Amino acid sequence: MSDVRTDRDLRLADTGSIDTTPYVLGGAVFLGIGVGFVTYSVRRQRSDGPTGLA
């Protein structure tokens, strides 16, 4: 029995194109959450007035 492997033995399965949809959707969701946090922080800061001034 031989342990020699050829390129044919080492090929990955040909499943077609890579499905990136979950990564795109997840990235968009996290980007939206980040924008929401920034918007909330800016609005909160403006409604509280300037800080550190006595």
Of 14 and 38, the structure prediction assigns the larger pLDDT to 38
User: So what's the pLDDT on residue 40?
Assistant: 94
Contacts of 51 (CB under 8 A, 6+ apart): 45
Domain spans, the chain: 5-47
Hey, what are 20's tokens? 């990136």
Of 53 and 40, the structure prediction assigns the larger pLDDT to 40
Q: What H or E segment, with its residue span, contains residue 33?
A: helix 21-48
Confidence grade of residue 44 (pLDDT, cut at 50, 70, 90)? confident
C-alpha angle with apex 28: 23 to 33, nearest 5 degrees? 125
Cα gap 47→41, rounded to integer Å: 10
Mean pLDDT of 10-25: 80
